[in-house]
């Protein structure tokens, strides 16, 4: 296995293509396809050596099947949008090619993301003898793999998981989102939820916050939101009693979000304008800076990690954090991308390496990444630009976070 087809030449897909091109010992042939050929050609100019570029509308299964037949990849990495997950999975089924993505399927008309649609492909993928690797970005992705690693190597039993995600960078724009604006705004405007004692608990959007102390950044106000990896982690981490996801948003981001919501600009249902149906969220996306344009003057860091409590391997209570920190300007220097695109675009490259080198099978069926061996991934990811660190928390660490009654 040495040939990859990446679909989606946006902010994160650009990083994935460039990083594959930096690892020619594994990826001998690289194809990049996107809705607009210009997007691919721009990325190809940044890649080491030749990559092949193609135009495809991945909503169209027949068009993707045709492309897969022409390019003969061993793996399709879906770096387009969650809307394309199912059509690309269908095209992989039809052609017998392995599949990977970084975000779970969302229907366009409901802002709801869950794995049920993709998990339904389990028996079809098993029967076809191909593998689907779901959620191999940073969060989901790296965050799930930190959990798998903690479960196997650090804990006898994990009781609670808090995934904490901070972008402490500044892009200098009045308002912008760090990944696809439509997907980002759909994520943060939906109701929040977390999981405790076997039940999902629903909360109003952004209604719970606390200060989380982020490594190399410091304490930052963080909001409890729902994030898709929680759905698979509650199934795959044994003995888990609670899982929550926290993300930082600046006051400026919240202010803009409030106004946009209040005036109806985040609606995803059609509104008639001069006789034509317009979806306000889709129109808003056209007005906002694309995430791929934010890198140039981005300063600051991302600090993303997972905080675990439970029983350590020695039978004693343990509180431990695993995390990664990235500098926006270093990511930009290496790939022309800001750190959010970088942290999303690198893990699928390492996931593809795991598959091609035999560490992750291939095993027929549909897998979330925490179901696959964590150690070889953790051994490689630091070398590819996302080094990770582990430390045990002192009693006084993350006091605010542990104080939140949920
Ligand atoms: N797991 C994580 O950590 C994580 C974090 C952030 C984002 N993500 C996910 O990463 C993905 C990419 O995000 P991004 O920030 O790179 O967004 P982006 O810059 O908007 O890129 C998305 C790309 O998808 C392409 N595309 C859209 N519809 C398509 C279609 N029908 N057929 C072919 N290509 C299509 C677009 O192509 P053109 O440019 O050619 O029009 C665009 O360049 C999203 O699914 C997002 O949810 C995951």
Q: What is the mean pLDDT of residues 64-82?
A: 98
% of the chain beyond a pLDDT of 90: 90
With a 6 Å cutoff on the Cβ, whether 151 touches ligand 1 is: no
Residue 186 has what pLDDT? Answer: 85
Q: What is the mean pLDDT of residues 62-72?
A: 98
| Cα 346 from chain centre | 10
**In angstroms, rounded to a whole number, what is the distance separating the alpha carbons of residues 211 and 223?**
9
**In angstroms, rounded to a whole number, what is the distance separating the alpha carbons of residues 209 and 329?**
29
Residue 29 has what pLDDT? Answer: 98
Task: For the chain, report the end-to-end CA distance as a whole number of angstroms.
Answer: 47
Q: Identify which of 15, 32, 35, 107 to mutate to test ligand 1's pocket (most ligand atoms within 8 A of the CB).
A: 35
Residue 154 has what pLDDT? Answer: 98
- 34 in Cβ contact with 80 (< 8 Å): yes
How far apart, in Å, are the Cα atoms of 41 and each of 10, 31, 34, 239, 253?
11, 11, 10, 48, 32
Question: What does the pLDDT look like over 143-165, one tens digit per residue?
Answer: 999 999 999 999 999 999 999 99
Inform me whether the pLDDT recorded for 306 exceeds 80. yes
Of the candidates 109, 34, 29, 102, which has an alpha carbon nearest to the alpha carbon of residue 72? 29
With a 6 Å cutoff on the Cβ, whether 228 touches ligand 1 is: no
- Give residue 73's pLDDT band: very low, low, confident or very high (50, 70, 90): very high
Length of the chain: 406
Q: Identify which of 17, 33, 81, 368 to mutate to test ligand 1's pocket (most ligand atoms within 8 A of the CB).
A: 81
Q: Which atom of ligand 1 is nearest to the CA of 341?
A: 15
- 303 in Cβ contact with 166 (< 8 Å): yes
Residue 188 has what pLDDT? Answer: 85
With a 6 Å cutoff on the Cβ, whether 58 touches ligand 1 is: yes
Strand positions, DSSP E, 45-175: 52-55, 75-78, 98-101, 131-134, 155-167
Residue 375 has what pLDDT? Answer: 98
With a 6 Å cutoff on the Cβ, whether 103 touches ligand 1 is: yes
Tell me, in angstroms, the distance from the centre of ligand 1 to residue 180's CA.
6
SS3 100: strand
Architecture of the domain defined by 142-330+387-403: 2-Layer Sandwich (3.30)
- Give residue 393's pLDDT band: very low, low, confident or very high (50, 70, 90): very high
Tell me, in angstroms, the distance from the centre of ligand 1 to residue 310's CA.
36
Inform me whether the pLDDT recorded for 111 exceeds 80. no
Q: What is the mean pLDDT of residues 2-16?
A: 98
Residue 339 has what pLDDT? Answer: 96
Q: What is the mean pLDDT of residues 124-134?
A: 98
**In angstroms, rounded to a whole number, what is the distance separating the alpha carbons of residues 105 and 78?**
11
With a 6 Å cutoff on the Cβ, whether 56 touches ligand 1 is: yes
Question: What does the pLDDT look like over 218-247, one tens digit per residue?
Answer: 999 999 999 999 999 999 999 999 999 999
DSSP state of 185: H
Question: What does the pLDDT look like over 331-360, one tens digit per residue?
Answer: 999 999 999 999 999 999 999 999 999 999
Question: What is the CATH T-level fold of the domain 3-138+340-381, as seen in this structure?
Answer: Rossmann fold (3.40.50)
Inform me whether the pLDDT recorded for 183 exceeds 90. no
- Give residue 256's pLDDT band: very low, low, confident or very high (50, 70, 90): very high
Using alpha carbons only, what angle is made at residue 255 by residues 250 and 258, rounded to the nearest 5 degrees?
125
Residue 189 has what pLDDT? Answer: 86
Q: What is the mean pLDDT of residues 62-79?
A: 98
Inform me whether the pLDDT recorded for 212 exceeds 80. yes
Residue 405 has what pLDDT? Answer: 86
- 14 in Cβ contact with 4 (< 8 Å): no
With a 6 Å cutoff on the Cβ, whether 17 touches ligand 1 is: no
With a 6 Å cutoff on the Cβ, whether 11 touches ligand 1 is: yes
Q: For the chain, which residues make up each domain, given as ranges?
A: 3-138+340-381, 142-330+387-403
With a 6 Å cutoff on the Cβ, whether 35 touches ligand 1 is: yes
Q: Which atom of ligand 1 is nearest to the CA of 184?
A: 47
- Residue closest via CA to ligand 1's atom 15 equals 179
**In angstroms, rounded to a whole number, what is the distance separating the alpha carbons of residues 355 and 359?**
6
Same fold? 3-138+340-381, 142-330+387-403: no
Tell me, in angstroms, the distance from the centre of ligand 1 to residue 80's CA.
4
Residue 291 has what pLDDT? Answer: 87
46 Cβ contact list (under 8 Å, min separation 6): 14, 18, 335, 336
Residue 185 has what pLDDT? Answer: 87
Mean pLDDT for the chain overall = 96
Of the candidates 12, 44, 41, 42, which has an alpha carbon nearest to the alpha carbon of residue 30? 44
Of the candidates 389, 380, 368, which has an alpha carbon nearest to the alpha carbon of residue 320? 389
| Cα 86 from chain centre | 17
Structure tokens at 51: 């990559």
Count other C-beta atoms under 10 Å from residue 182's C-beta.
24
Tell me, in angstroms, the distance from the centre of ligand 1 to residue 78's CA.
8
- Give residue 270's pLDDT band: very low, low, confident or very high (50, 70, 90): very high
With a 6 Å cutoff on the Cβ, whether 154 touches ligand 1 is: no
With a 6 Å cutoff on the Cβ, whether 36 touches ligand 1 is: yes
Q: What is the torsion angle, in degrees rounded to the nearest 10, for the CA atoms of residue 279, residue 281, residue 283 and residue 287?
A: 170
Q: What is the mean pLDDT of residues 174-183?
A: 88
Give the bridge partners for 98, in sequence order. Answer: 75
**Residue whose tokens read 């916050």:** 209
Of the candidates 102, 207, 226, 212, which has an alpha carbon nearest to the alpha carbon of residue 168? 212
- Residue closest via CA to ligand 1's atom 18 equals 10
Dmax (CA) of the chain: 69
């Amino acid at each position: 296995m040495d040939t990859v087809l990446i679909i989606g030449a946006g902010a994160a897909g650009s990083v994935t293509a460039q990083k594959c091109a930096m690892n020619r010992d594994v990826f001998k042939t690289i194809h990049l396809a996107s809705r607009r050929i210009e997007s691919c050609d721009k990325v190809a100019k940044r890649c080491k050596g030749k990559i092949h570029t193609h135009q495809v509308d991945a909503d169209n299964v027949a068009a993707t099947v045709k492309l897969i037949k022409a390019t003969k990849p061993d793996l399709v990495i879906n770096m387009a949008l969650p809307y394309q997950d199912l059509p690309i999975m269908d095209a992989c089924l039809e052609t017998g090619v392995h599949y990977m993505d970084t975000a779970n399927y969302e229907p366009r008309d409901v802002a709801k993301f869950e794995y049920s649609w993709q998990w339904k492909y389990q028996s079809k993928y098993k029967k076809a003898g191909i593998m689907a690797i779901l959620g191999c970005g940073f969060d989901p992705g790296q965050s799930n793999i930190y959990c798998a690693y903690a479960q196997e190597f650090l804990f006898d039993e994990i009781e609670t998981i808090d995934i904490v995600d901070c972008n402490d960078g500044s892009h200098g724009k009045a308002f912008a989102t760090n990944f696809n604006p439509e997907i980002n705004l759909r994520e943060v405007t939906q109701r929040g939820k977390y999981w405790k004692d076997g039940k999902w608990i629903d909360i109003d959007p952004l209604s719970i916050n606390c200060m989380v102390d982020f490594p190399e950044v410091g304490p930052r106000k963080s909001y409890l939101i729902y994030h898709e990896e929680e759905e698979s982690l509650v199934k795959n981490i044994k003995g888990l009693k609670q899982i929550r996801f926290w993300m930082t948003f600046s006051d400026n981001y919240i202010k803009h979000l409030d106004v946009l919501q209040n005036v109806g600009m985040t609606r995803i249902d059609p509104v008639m304008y001069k006789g034509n149906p317009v979806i306000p969220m889709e129109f808003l996306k056209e007005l906002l800076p694309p995430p791929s344009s934010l890198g140039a003057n981005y300063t600051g860091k991302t600090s993303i990690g997972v905080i675990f409590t439970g029983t350590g391997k020695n039978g004693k209570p343990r509180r431990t954090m695993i995390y990664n920190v990235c500098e926006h300007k270093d990511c930009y220097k290496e790939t022309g991308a800001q750190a959010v695109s970088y942290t999303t675009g690198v893990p699928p490259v390492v996931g593809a390496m795991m598959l091609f080198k035999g560490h992750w099978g291939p095993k027929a069926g549909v897998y979330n990444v925490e179901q696959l061996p964590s150690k070889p991934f953790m051994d490689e990811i630091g070398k590819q630009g996302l080094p990770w660190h582990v430390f045990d928390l002192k009693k006084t660490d993350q006091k605010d976070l542990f104080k939140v009654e949920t």
